[in-house]
Amino acid sequence: MTSSTVSADTPFEVLGGGPVVRRLVDAFYDLMDADPAYARLRALHAPDLTAMRDSLTGFLTGWLGGPRDWFAAHPGACMMSLHRAMPIDAALAAQWTSAMGRALAATEADPELVEALGETFGRMAGGMTTR
């Protein structure tokens, strides 16, 4: 046993670690950028998605049980609160969930984890609706 602070059983490790989380996030924003089905979701974001790609990668890394640098840099951050001022309706939440579901499938990671994460993201996005 090494002195690593990251357990081998975390969803982060099962998914494939840092490179796979990065690929997941890049696939998500690539889809958002390219598929007209996500045009309204895309329009809500800044023209340059570079900072978002880094932030979502960092958030998901810690949230999945990997290194928690994002949480250390955002003390007390609550994902629900961060979205409270945004005009999110059910259709927009469904666009987010759909793009993330497709990005998750593209990782070709463990199907059970992919399904569980897809459901969890769907609940999170649904809980972020503000109108």
Per rule CB under 6 A, is residue 94 in the interface with ligand HEM? no
- Binding of ligand HEM by 14 (CB under 6 A): no
Q: Which of 48, 47, 52, 46 is nearest to 26 (CA)?
A: 52
Asked if residue 41 binds ligand HEM (CB under 6 A), the reply is yes
Q: 82-89 long-range contacts, Cβ below 8 Å, gap at least 24?
A: 83/128, 83/130, 84/130, 85/130, 86/44, 86/128, 86/130, 87/44, 87/130, 87/131, 88/128, 88/129, 88/130, 88/131, 89/129, 89/130, 89/131
Using the rule CB under 6 A, is 34 a contact of ligand HEM? no
Interface characters, 56-75, with ligand HEM (x: CB under 6 A): x--x----------------
CB of 85 to ligand HEM, least distance (A): 10
Judged by CB under 6 A, the number of residues near ligand HEM is 20
CB of 23 to ligand HEM, least distance (A): 16
By CB under 6 A, tell whether 38 contacts ligand HEM.
no
